[in-house]
């Protein structure tokens, strides 16, 4: 059996990052920059007003006070979006709105609150320094300044900055597109009528949602029956629109019923291994198709499938954007109840973590088909390979679930 670390390291070593593409900003959220982005223009690109008020020469209002205001003629107004040249005649003011270009000759803005708001003549009750309420050209960034370094995963603010800096597109590695294929003769569409012996499909539904929760576009492929031909056709078909494939089921030790193992084993690129963990011991990984698309063959039990997704598929999604980083070490908490674990396997028990109290309680129902129990948990309790039982009060590592 391989350790969790060995298996993950082999997966990461086999993944080639997706090539960068020129992405529209609407598609850029979550993409990872492959190049530094520098400012091409000053930001802002022209001197403009930070407030609604009056563009002035500071010298003209230098004596203004509450008791002894200065009264000046108002020579029209300039609003955000106005582009025509405006000159301030000394001894007058121009009404100005936030974001409007500063008239030539004006060196400050008196905010409207310091005035009577006049339109023909304005009474100004205070002085301002030169530069007051003026946003200077390049005050946020100068041409050539580094705005976003290569490797940045684009968040909303980053996308906003790209737009503000005049970029309509950006070169980045997009979020990988995920397709999840469930196999099994027993599977029925969620919500459809069920007869005894069948179950509602839940893994592909869950794992596609988990991929979306991780920020990736994801879809669930229609249920595939347990035949080699059906599976190979599905994989072939799914390759077209996916950067990563996940299958569920068909990888246990049950011989001819384990169609994923039988079918993909013949491709020569997917290897099936036992990983020293519980749940999720039978694992398969490889690459398929012309783009060497990674494919994970996860075990069919829903808890095994989900835990495997968290431990292996999630890091692979990051690696496809060349942005895999070992996640922060697991947290620690005190066990509120006893826990058992098989020898020689690392257990990922389902638990309810009370972060502020530093306590974690194993949920009842730790079998790998018990999705209801998993749904009650918010954390995985990690029990190392050499430990088979733990008592309440012992400190354990915990991984918080998304």
Instruction: Tell me the closest approach of the beta carbon of residue 257 to ligand AMP, in angstroms.
Output: 7
Piece in contact with Mg ion (CB under 5 A), picked from 74-82, 109-117, 250-258, 279-287? 250-258
Determine if 302 is a binding residue for Mg ion (CB under 5 A): no
Q: Among residues 52 and 226, whose Cβ is nearest to Mg ion? A: 226
Q: Which does 182 bind (CB under 5 to 8 A by kind): Mg ion, ligand AMP, none?
A: ligand AMP
Instruction: Tell me the closest approach of the beta carbon of residue 377 to Mg ion, in angstroms.
Output: 24
Distance, CA of 270 to CA of 265 (rounded, Å): 6
Instruction: Tell me the closest approach of the beta carbon of residue 173 to Mg ion, in angstroms.
Output: 34
Q: Among residues 176 and 184, whose Cβ is nearest to Mg ion? A: 184
DSSP letters spanning 14-74: HPPPPPPEEEEGGG-TT-EESS-EE-SS-BSSS-EESSSEEEE-GGGGTT--SSS-EEEEE
Q: Which does 293 bind (CB under 5 to 8 A by kind): ligand AMP, Mg ion, none?
A: none
Instruction: Tell me the closest approach of the beta carbon of residue 183 to Mg ion, in angstroms.
Output: 6
Instruction: Tell me the closest approach of the beta carbon of residue 391 to ligand AMP, in angstroms.
Output: 32
Instruction: Look at residues 383, 386, 349, 342 and name the one whose alpha carbon lies nearest to residue 367.
Output: 349
Do 124 and 61 meet the contact criterion of CB atoms below 8 Å apart?
Answer: yes
Among 250, 280, 299, 351, binds Mg ion (CB under 5 A): 250
Q: Among residues 53 and 300, whose Cβ is nearest to Mg ion? A: 300
Instruction: Tell me the closest approach of the beta carbon of residue 181 to ligand AMP, in angstroms.
Output: 9
Among 42, 101, 184, 294, binds Mg ion (CB under 5 A): 184
Burial class (CB within 10 angstroms; exposed 0-12, middle 13-18, buried 19+) of 261: buried
Q: Which does 187 bind (CB under 5 to 8 A by kind): Mg ion, ligand AMP, none?
A: ligand AMP
Do 382 and 346 meet the contact criterion of CB atoms below 8 Å apart?
Answer: yes
Piece in contact with Mg ion (CB under 5 A), picked from 49-57, 97-105, 292-300, 313-321? 292-300
Distance, CA of 317 to CA of 66 (rounded, Å): 63
Q: Which does 308 bind (CB under 5 to 8 A by kind): Mg ion, ligand AMP, none?
A: none
Looking at beta carbons, which residue is closest to Mg ion? 249
Instruction: Tell me the closest approach of the beta carbon of residue 9 to ligand AMP, in angstroms.
Output: 25
Q: Strands, E, within 211-270: which ranges?
A: 218-220, 244-248
Q: Which does 128 bind (CB under 5 to 8 A by kind): Mg ion, ligand AMP, none?
A: none
Do 77 and 96 meet the contact criterion of CB atoms below 8 Å apart?
Answer: yes
Distance, CA of 52 to CA of 125 (rounded, Å): 16
Q: What is the token pair recorded at 278?
A: 């519980």
Instruction: Tell me the closest approach of the beta carbon of residue 260 to ligand AMP, in angstroms.
Output: 8
Q: Which does 351 bind (CB under 5 to 8 A by kind): Mg ion, ligand AMP, none?
A: none
Burial class (CB within 10 angstroms; exposed 0-12, middle 13-18, buried 19+) of 282: buried
Looking at beta carbons, which residue is closest to ligand AMP? 300
Instruction: Tell me the closest approach of the beta carbon of residue 20 to ligand AMP, in angstroms.
Output: 34
Do 258 and 250 meet the contact criterion of CB atoms below 8 Å apart?
Answer: yes
Determine if 249 is a binding residue for Mg ion (CB under 5 A): yes
User: What are the start-end ranges of the H helices in 113-189?
Assistant: 156-164
Interface residues toward ligand AMP, by CB under 6 A: 182, 184, 186-187, 199, 201-204, 248-252, 299-302, 369
Q: Which does 288 bind (CB under 5 to 8 A by kind): Mg ion, ligand AMP, none?
A: none
Residue with tokens 């997706």: 18
Do 175 and 211 meet the contact criterion of CB atoms below 8 Å apart?
Answer: no
Q: Strands, E, within 136-270: which ranges?
A: 146-148, 169-173, 178-182, 187-188, 199-200, 218-220, 244-248
- Name the residues that contact Mg ion, by CB under 5 A: 184, 249-250, 300
């Amino acid at each position: 059996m391989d350790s969790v670390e060995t298996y993950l390291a082999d997966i990461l070593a086999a993944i080639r990052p997706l090539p960068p593409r020129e992405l529209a900003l609407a598609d850029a959220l979550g993409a990872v920059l492959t190049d530094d982005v520098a400012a091409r223009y000053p930001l802002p690109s022209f001197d403009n007003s930070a407030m609604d008020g009056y563009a002035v020469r500071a010298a003209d209002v230098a004596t203004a006070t509450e008791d002894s205001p200065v009264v000046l003629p108002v020579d029209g107004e300039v609003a955000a979006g106005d582009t025509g040249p405006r000159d301030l005649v000394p001894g007058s003011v121009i009404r100005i709105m936030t974001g409007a270009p500063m008239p030539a000759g004006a060196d400050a803005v008196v905010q409207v609150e310091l005035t009577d708001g006049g339109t023909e003549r304005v009474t100004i009750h205070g002085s301002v320094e030169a530069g007051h309420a003026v946003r200077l050209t390049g005050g946020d960034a100068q041409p050539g300044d580094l705005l976003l370094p290569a490797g940045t995963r684009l968040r909303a603010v980053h996308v906003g900055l790209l737009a503000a800096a005049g970029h309509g597109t950006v070169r980045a590695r997009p979020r990988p597109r995920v397709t999840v294929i469930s196999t099994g003769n027993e599977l029925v569409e969620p919500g459809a009528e069920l007869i005894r012996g069948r179950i509602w499909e839940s893994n592909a539904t869950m794992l596609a949602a988990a991929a979306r929760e991780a920020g990736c576009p994801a879809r669930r492929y229609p249920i595939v029956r347990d035949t080699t031909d059906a599976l190979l056709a599905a994989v072939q078909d799914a390759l077209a629109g996916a950067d990563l494939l996940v299958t569920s089921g068909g990888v246990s030790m049950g011989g001819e019923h384990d169609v994923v193992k039988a079918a993909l084993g013949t491709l020569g690129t997917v290897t099936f291994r036992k990983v020293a963990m519980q749940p999720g011991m039978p694992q398969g990984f490889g690459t398929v198709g012309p783009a060497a698309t990674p494919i994970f063959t996860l075990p069919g039990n829903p808890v095994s499938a989900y835990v495997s997704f968290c431990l292996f598929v999630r890091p692979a999604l990051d690696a496809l954007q060349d942005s895999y980083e070992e996640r922060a070490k697991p947290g620690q908490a005190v066990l509120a109840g006893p826990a058992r674990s098989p020898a020689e396997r690392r257990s990922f028990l389902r638990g309810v973590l009370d972060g502020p109290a530093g306590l974690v309680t194993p949920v009842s129902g730790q079998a790998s088909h018990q999705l209801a129990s998993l749904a009650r948990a918010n954390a995985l309790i990690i029990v190392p390979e050499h430990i088979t039982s733990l008592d309440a009060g012992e400190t354990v590592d915990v991984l918080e679930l998304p």
